[in-house]
Chain A
């Protein structure tokens, strides 16, 4: 493996993408809206409801649909307060995955389809890399910034969420095992998945925008998770999140094995 070349290509991809407005804008706006805007907004409403002393029953009613142990852990809180913590810890959790998914997919769209658009691919195929090295370089170039955006998003969320839960309920709730699993186990897997899908999409389309739009479709399963949990179909637990990560990694393994088996620069050039 020619690691020098792989690392050089990956690093340049990541670096240049992070200097491109079409890439950076969504990478800033989405985390801000999602990881700051939503918890703050919901927190302010919950906080007001608590302070206005809106008549609320205690938690016993809510408790049936809550994860095991949640009731004991947050005993003594009003329904609004516990509800907000539930929102922060569980309801919102699947939404977090949008971050690494979207980030890696936007960078990959830039590095693969954008490469076609800017006609820079030809310089790259003539480098002394093997097909496998070139693919790996391109994957790392999207995966590293994707995962990083996910981790930074998690840190921001943890800080904002703690401030808001303290404001609403006088508690600090993050980080907890479930969110650590999300950020360090599921997030990077989601980043890889967003990447894989976009890479495949990129080989079919010609512009950054098209690739990005198709790549964005990977967000759909996340929406299903959000809706499913809100509707009470299931509740996330540590082991469920761990399992989710495992499934995603397995899926990635399949996708990238197929990519490695089919990615040929000669095929790219035959279409150029």
Chain B
């Protein structure tokens, strides 16, 4: 398996089926200590199932897994002592207070009694929960719950941190906080296994990314290696004169790195005589060049907006190869 001393996760042909459905299909990856590894895929791609198998809480149907050189099937508890998992739903008991929750898990994870209160106070402060530390979790907002769940995940200072869609459903401020936390963790040399369906998030935070669809890895590599293919997922929309739309489509279709230029045809896109065109494969850094092109060709620009990156386009680009 060519495992070096810093390899923390190795899988070979890791597979899990539910009945006839293959949730994870022959996954082969190697993850080094200190890496931020992105597991990018839509709902149902097999991300959560993989996290479960790596931690020995779900049995693989086939294949080989080693985490810290241990087999999760037989040594799950030893692995789990050194990993922290932020599950998709926070799984918090609403009847406990934030402080009780953290103290309880500190005890379960064997944090020495003398260190417990200090550790809990630290995490409450880090996640800005001090003011509500002694309130029941039942009254917490979604963002607060997520922060508390994250604090719980870190209570024993784990070596590998699994984050299963840590920002899904959060507001922008909460998302920023979670991203900040992940960056801090990586500065401290922790390994992060980040499951997400958000392309921008994966690109921003991860050293390497595996793109997953229907349980299969479509591509795996550093964000630079996957660069142009991941870029396919980026889109911007331009609002221009409605009468110029055909000309604009033709123009941009021939302008690199645009992979596809399409006129948005639904009614809402057409107003006050202007219309919208979406340019696929254009990331934020290429926006100025696009504006310049538009101006050079006498297109009247009313609005330029980067759109939420689309995984579909990435899938499409990866499958073309």
Contact = CB atoms under 8 A, between A and B. Distances in A.
Interface of A: 2, 4-5, 8-9, 12, 16, 19-20, 118-123, 125-130, 133, 265-266, 269-270
Interface residues of B, number: 29
10 contacts: A4-B107, A5-B107, A8-B108, A12-B96, A12-B104, A119-B91, A123-B87, A128-B80, A266-B59, A269-B57
Contacts of A16: 93, 95-96
Interface string B265-283: 0000000000000000000
Interface string B93-132: 1111000000011011110000000000000000000000
B81 interface: yes
Interface of B: 18, 52, 55-59, 76-78, 80-81, 83, 85, 87, 89, 91-96, 104-105, 107-110, 152
B57 A126 contact: yes
Given A19-B95, A129-B80, 19 more contacts: A2-B77, A4-B108, A5-B108, A5-B109, A8-B104, A8-B108, A12-B96, A12-B104, A16-B95, A119-B89, A122-B91, A123-B92, A126-B57, A126-B83, A127-B109, A128-B81, A266-B56, A269-B57, A269-B58
B130 to A, nearest CB: 22
Pick the most buried of A8, A118, A126, A265: most chain B CB atoms within 10 A of its CB.
A126
A197 B59 CA distance: 27
A130 B110 contact: no
A13 to B, nearest CB: 10
Contacts of B107: 4-5, 8
Contacts of B76: 130
A239 B124 CA distance: 57
Contacts of A126: 55, 57, 80, 83, 85, 87
A265 B52 CA distance: 11
Nearest to A266: B59
Contacts of A127: 80, 105, 108-109
A120 B93 contact: yes
A120 B91 contact: yes
Contact of B95 (A4, A20, A129): A20
A258 to B, nearest CB: 20
A237 B94 CA distance: 48
Contact of A266 (B58, B104, B105, B109): B58
Residue with the highest number of chain A CB atoms closer than 10 Å, among B89, B93, B110 = B93
Contacts of A9: 108
Nearest to B72: A266
A141 to B, nearest CB: 12
A108 to B, nearest CB: 16
Contact of B18 (A12, A19, A270): A270
Nearest to B90: A123
Contact of A128 (B87, B89, B104, B109): B109
Contact of A123 (B55, B110, B152): B152
B263 to A, nearest CB: 45
Contacts of A119: 89, 91
